[in-house]
Amino acid sequence: MKYLSSILLLAIPAIATPSPTLTERQDAGCGIASGYSFKSSAKLPDPFTSTNGTKITTKAQWPCRAQEISQLFQKYELGTLPPKPSSVTATYSAGSIKVTVSDGGKSISFSAKISTPSSGKAPYPAIIGIGGVSIPSQAGVATITFDNDGMAAQQSKSSHGTGLFFTLYGSSATAGATTAWAWGVSRLIDALELTPSANIDTTKLGVSGCSRNGKGAFIVGALEPRIALTIPQESGSGGAACWRISDSQKAAGKNIQTAGEIIGENAWFSPNFNAYATKTSDLPVDHHLLAGLIVPRGLFVIENDIDWLGPVSTTGCQEVGQMIYKSMGVPENFGFSLVGGHSHCQFPSSQASDLSAFVSKFLLGGSGSTGVVAKSSATVDTSSYIDWAAPALT
């Protein structure tokens, strides 16, 4: 049954047609405390306790804590995100930017198609589509198509190590495909910054993608601070869902994708994750903390009520993620919208106005408010998944 759902999702074609960098934050002297060990827990890890035991009480402490969280994600789940390489160059011609990256004596090149809008004003804001976008095009906003499959393959579990990223960093690099895509998007943004003729405003960039590419979009937004608005669509398990909540839903008999299944299905995560996939209680992170890497930047999470994606898991996980935005005093910068009753990756018109409000605020410089968007057909008691309280940070 689980595989049937998985095949059904696979059968639906993908509709293809940024602040300091992580490395700079690491340079600030923050990171996992030496001697840190995580005490196994089926509850979602506390965002507000640092690895050295310090409680987070002020907003000013967050960037350092976020750096720890990023390192924990990389160590246990995502694999290592390499820093900016020694050389990135770019050329632009006829709607296509060609990016050449050299590191350690090796070189790779890739191209991305840029479609500028018929309205608006250059340089344009843009949404980078991970393998394309499945949300409606937005007036005044360009679309850039990132070939994630070329950067890191997602054919099967044994795809790990295949793609341009691994040509540069070796097939035994620990990055999962989603981390490699984040690195590639970072190089694309480097290239856009170097190339004014591409007419893209790199201070107004969004990222989106659906399903497996939605998992990618979420992780790109979490690892690349130059993304102003992250819009993961129907990412489900490995994206908006929390590993622990999905496991508890599976135990309750739901036909839901879990970490244990995902590591056998594809190469989205690091080989480092394999050891934890059937004991997610041992993970010091879970996906509510992706919101903690994106805050205070814009985040609009779109979901569906398909069992395999885990509607209770995505809703509960992101309600907890929204607590971090609330603690940071920016609850309206986060939106969650789960609307069911439509095919996978088909954007329902009822979500259009909330999406436009986020695009307007974060990509078009609009002054309008998004309001606090938290809509779902699933009702979840988040208190059963956490054993900590979110403080109002000063």
Closest by Cα among 65, 19, 366, 361 to 203: 19
Give residues 128-167 in contact with ligand MCU (rule: CB under 6 A): none
Both tokens assigned to 285:
């992170």
Q: How far apart are CA 299 and CA 283, in angstroms?
A: 24
**Residue 188 CB contacts under 8 Å (≥ 6 apart), including other chains:** 97, 99, 112, 128, 144, 146
Nearer to ligand MCU, 256 or 283 (CB): 256
In the complex with ligand MCU, the residue whose CB is nearer, 175 or 262, is 262
350 catalytic residue (yes or no):
no
Residue 215 C-beta: closest distance to ligand MCU, Å: 7
Please report how close the Cβ of residue 305 comes to ligand MCU at its closest, in angstroms.
13
Binding flags for ligand MCU, 161-200, as an x/- string (CB under 6 A): ----------------------------------------
The question of whether 102 is a catalytic residue gets the answer: no
Beta carbon of residue 340, minimum distance to ligand MCU (angstroms, whole number): 14
Look up residue 136 and give its two tokens. Answer: 């409606």
| DSSP strands (E only) in the chain | 87-93, 96-103, 106-115, 124-130, 142-146, 200-210, 229-233, 298-303, 334-338, 373-376
Query: Which of 25, 160, 204, 212 is close enough to bind ligand MCU by CB under 6 A?
Result: 212
Of the listed 111, 211, 270, 376, which one is catalytic?
211
Nearest to 290 by CA among 330, 328, 240: 240
Q: How far is CA 173 from CA 74, 94, 184, 219, 260, in A?
A: 12, 34, 14, 18, 22
Give me 198's structure tokens.
Answer: 């591409």
Question: Is residue 12 a contact residue for ligand MCU (CB under 6 A)?
Answer: yes
CA distance 329 to 309: 30
Which of the residues 272 through 311 are near ligand MCU (CB under 6 A)? 309
Binding mask 226-245 for ligand MCU (x = CB under 6 A): ----------xx--------
Our finding on whether 265 is near ligand MCU (CB under 6 A) is yes
Q: Which of 71, 230, 257, 280 is close enough to bind ligand MCU by CB under 6 A?
A: 257
Contacts to ligand MCU by CB under 6 A: 6, 9-10, 12, 14, 211-212, 236-237, 257, 265, 309
Tell me the catalytic residues. 211, 344
